[in-house]
Amino acid sequence: MASTVDWTALRAAAVRAAALAYCPYSNLRVGAAALCDDGRTVVGCNVENGSFGLTLCAECTMAGQLRLTGGGRFVAVACRSAAGELLMPCGRCRQLLQELGGPDCLVDTPRGVLPMREVLPDAFEF
């Protein structure tokens, strides 16, 4: 599955999702897109609110999409701004990707495509 990831399409899906963000406080539109283990793609965008700390990252709404559209696992993830810049998942979201994708889940990073085991070493496990 890893070798069949269409990263160009995944990155473009993340950019399209970023355009749908609700981010009146930061004005940073973030989109996330993931290829799932059944071949479908799920996306998310950040949804902010006035209690800044309660803002939902793009990866959070994407995790909701994963569950709401059939479950499964993340296989490959790309996060982008609406302008197309590569963005890395924050610490909280790395934990989310780790749990829903596992250590082999691939992530688009500034250092190239890397597995979650390198993006979040020594991850917390419950």
Q: Which residues bind ligand THU (CB under 6 A)?
A: 23, 26, 28, 30, 46, 48, 55, 57-59, 89-90, 93
Residue 17: CB partners within 8 Å, gap ≥ 6?
31, 32, 33, 43, 44, 45, 58, 62
The residue from 48, 59, 85, 99 that is catalytic is 59
Exposure string for 96-120, b = 16+ CB within 10 A, e = fewer: bbbbbbbeebbbbbeeeeeebeebb
| Shortest distance, position 111 Cβ to ligand THU, whole Å | 17
Report how far residue 21's alpha carbon sits from residue 51's, in angstroms, rounded to the nearest whole number.
17
| Shortest distance, position 33 Cβ to ligand THU, whole Å | 12
Based on CB atoms, which residue is closest to ligand THU, 21 or 75? 21
48 is catalytic: no
Based on CB atoms, which residue is closest to ligand THU, 58 or 78? 58
**Residue positions annotated with a catalytic role:** 59
